[in-house]
């Protein structure tokens, strides 16, 4: 059955009735905090449907994946990114952020030139590995130089790199190595996309020390939640996991961190059975989950 704009408007109305939110409070928060959402879980949607869904959920912008297997493929960036940005603008959304796999300047010129021309201000980088056969200190020095070269390219296009602290064995998981890598890089052109979920995984009781260490380098924030289930990590909706958002946002306020936010929904959006539903039915399901997380986040931000 075809899915048209009338169907979508009806969907919005139902979702809005199920999850009411003060329009005055929402508008006040939009002026204070710019909230994007990561497009990866929604890559089954085309640009227009994605943006209509994000707008209906009360978001301010789209954090498009512009990387291999992303919403925008790097080899098609000059043609497809303008289309993606146009869809966002048509829905009243911003595209301040994007997510890439960029690690070195030599691979980034066309993508960054195109993104900057479309008004993108920040891009998440790909992650650096420690270099086999090199010490940790040597790896940090080499990655520091690569990041400086990337910052020089960013300066040319007036755009900022954002390196995410991701749990695991890559550089930046512990945050202390990330600080050593980035401490003398020009913060106007390269900074940190701080992820409290991954910081909590790696430093359940000490994450605040790492946050304090790199606070001046943070240019974007990632918000998501998780819990441990049978010794395995499970991503969950905001407020249902282990991340201490109250303590985190107290620190955000204390350190005067006020940067764009990207909301990540990495828990199950559609079950295997739901994957077989119509586009309209799937859209209703994911819109409800997205709107719930958006409203939860806005409630947290309202307390800052």
pLDDT at 7: 52
pLDDT digits (tens, 9 = 90+) for 41-83: 999 999 999 999 999 999 999 999 999 999 999 999 999 999 9
Query: 3-class DSSP state for residue 47?
Result: helix
pLDDT digits (tens, 9 = 90+) for 123-146: 999 999 999 999 999 999 999 999
Contacts of 107 (CB under 8 A, 6+ apart): none
- Closest of 249, 235, 248 to residue 293, by C-alpha: 235
Say what the pTM is: 0.88
pLDDT at 25: 47
CA-to-CA separations, 133 to 3, 139, 172, in angstroms, rounded: 55, 9, 19
Question: How far apart are alpha carbons 192 and 179 in whole angstroms?
Answer: 9
Q: How confident is the model at residue 304 (pLDDT cuts 50, 70, 90)?
A: confident
Length of the chain: 304
Cα–Cα–Cα angle for 84, 87, 93, nearest 5°? Answer: 105
The share of the chain scoring above pLDDT 70, in percent, equals 90
Average pLDDT value for residue range 205-226: 96
The share of the chain scoring above pLDDT 90, in percent, equals 86
Domains of the chain: 34-266 (3.20.20.150)
Beta bridge partners of 221: 194, 261
pLDDT digits (tens, 9 = 90+) for 174-212: 999 999 999 999 999 999 999 999 999 998 889 999 999
pLDDT at 28: 45
Contacts of 171 (CB under 8 A, 6+ apart): 127, 128, 129, 130, 139, 140, 143, 177, 178, 181
Instruction: Outline where 127-167 has alpha helix (H).
Output: 136-157
Helix (H) or strand (E) holding 83: helix 77-90
């Amino acid at each position: 059955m075809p899915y048209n704009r009338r169907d979508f408007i009806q969907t919005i109305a139902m979702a809005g009735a199920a999850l009411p939110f003060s329009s005055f409070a929402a508008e006040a928060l939009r002026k204070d905090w710019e909230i994007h959402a990561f497009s990866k879980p929604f890559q089954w949607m085309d640009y227009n449907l994605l943006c209509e869904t994000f707008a209906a959920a009360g978001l301010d912008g789209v954090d498009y994946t512009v990387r291999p297997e992303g919403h925008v493929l790097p080899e098609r960036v000059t043609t497809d990114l303008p289309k993606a940005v146009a869809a966002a603008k048509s829905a009243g959304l911003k595209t301040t952020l994007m997510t890439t796999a960029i690690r070195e300047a030599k691979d980034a010129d066309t993508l960054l030139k195109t993104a900057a021309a479309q008004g993108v201000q920040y891009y998440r980088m790909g992650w650096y590995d420690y270099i086999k056969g090199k010490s940790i200190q040597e790896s940090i020095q080499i990655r520091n130089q690569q990041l400086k070269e990337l910052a020089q390219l960013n300066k040319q296009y007036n755009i900022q790199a954002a390196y995410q602290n991701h749990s695991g064995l890559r550089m930046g998981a512990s945050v202390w190595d990330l600080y050593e890598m980035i401490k003398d890089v020009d913060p106007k052109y390269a900074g940190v996309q701080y992820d409290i979920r991954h910081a909590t995984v790696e430093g359940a009781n000490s994450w605040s020390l790492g946050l304090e260490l790199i606070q001046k380098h943070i240019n974007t924030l990632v918000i998501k939640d998780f819990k441990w289930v049978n010794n395995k990590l499970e991503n969950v909706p905001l407020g249902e996991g282990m991340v201490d958002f109250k303590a985190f946002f107290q620190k955000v306020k204390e350190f005067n961190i006020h940067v764009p936010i990207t909301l990540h929904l990495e828990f199950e959006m559609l079950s295997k059975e739901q994957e077989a539903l119509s586009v309209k039915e799937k859209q209703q399901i994911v819109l409800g989950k997205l709107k719930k997380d958006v409203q939860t986040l806005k409630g947290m931000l309202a307390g800052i």
